Amino acid sequence: MKRKKAPEGGASWMDTYGDMVTLLLCFFVLLYSISSVDEVKWKALVKSLNAGDEQEIAEMVIEKSKETVANNGEDEKYKEDMNFDELYKLLKQSVKEIGIEDQAEVSKGDGFTFISFRDKIFFDGDSSYLKKEGEKVLDAFAKVLKKVSSHVEEIQVIGHTSQGDPNTPNNVRIDRTLSALRSMEVTVYLQEKNVISPDKLVSVSYGQFRPIASVKTKDGRAKNRRVEILITENNAVAKNLEQYYEEVYKEK
């Protein structure tokens, strides 16, 4: 019995295979366009497909991808090299986005930006343990700082406590140690973020001895318990703390 011949005019399996290879190539080109460049692996993949002009296409895609990476690098460099004057605006925006406008005040002057973090945003009472909420605030601060770090001369992290009893000063050792540990914890956390050279980070503590409000009221004592961050610009005129305070707190 003779075997019947396949009907003429049907599509060749080579056509189907060619279409499949083309679709696969398009798929891998799409994947490649959103991935990192690996020229050796890409060329090996194209070679394995064994199609006519894929090698040429692959080389074009590789070159285009390299151009994109280079351009993105330039964009990133631009974003991270913003002018010092932009720092105040970025910090104000960050404070608003985090929702701590009632707990942090951002000020600026000639050659400096100043932030005062109120009361318990970083620490609980009589504690130097940095809270998770405080870490999130510092994370946002570090991202902003990175964008202008090349323009920063120095960052001072200043720790303060408040006299608990209006009629009796705090124990000197406990008071000084607590404010020093608090400023140190914030400084260390920022240093671990690697957003600025460690030699530009300075930890300072004053205990209860630089109040900005009366210790006779609960609200005044809450204002005195604070962590301040003073950021100075490269080549700015040096000032003492009282001069900065006069500009920052003069209307408060």
**So what's the pLDDT on residue 134?**
95
**Integer CA distances (angstroms), 121 to 133, 143, 175, 218, 224, in order:** 7, 18, 19, 17, 13
End-to-end CA distance of the chain: 108
Res. 215 pLDDT band, cuts 50 70 90: very high
The 3 state secondary structure assigned to the chain is CCCCCCCCCCCCHHHHHHHHHHHHHHHHHHHHHCCCCCHHHHHHHHHHHCCCCHHHHHHHHHHHHHHHHHHHHHHHHHHCCCCCCHHHHHHHHHHHHHCCCCCEEEEEECCEEEEEEECCCCCCCCCCCCCHHHHHHHHHHHHHHHHHHHHEEEEEEEEECCCCECCECCCHHHHHHHHHHHHHHHHHHHHHCCCCCHHHEEEEEEECCCCCCCCCCHHHHHHHCEEEEEEEECCCCCCCHHHHHHHHHCCC
The tens digit of pLDDT for each residue in 115-172 reads 999 988 999 989 999 999 999 999 999 999 999 999 999 999 999 999 999 999 999 9
pLDDT at residue 32 is higher than 70: no
Q: What is the pTM of this model?
A: 0.68
**Integer CA distances (angstroms), 202 to 47, 92, 93, 225, in order:** 58, 23, 25, 19
pLDDT at residue 79 is higher than 50: no
Listed residue (180, 164, 154, 172) closest to 233, CA to CA: 154
Listed residue (208, 242, 231) closest to 112, CA to CA: 231
HSE (side-chain half, CA atoms, 13 Å) at 61: 23
Single-letter amino acid code for the residue at 200: K
pLDDT at residue 30 is higher than 90: no
pLDDT at residue 75 is higher than 50: no
Rounded Cα distance, 111 and 154, in Å: 11
Residues 6+ apart with CB under 8 A from 143: 94, 195
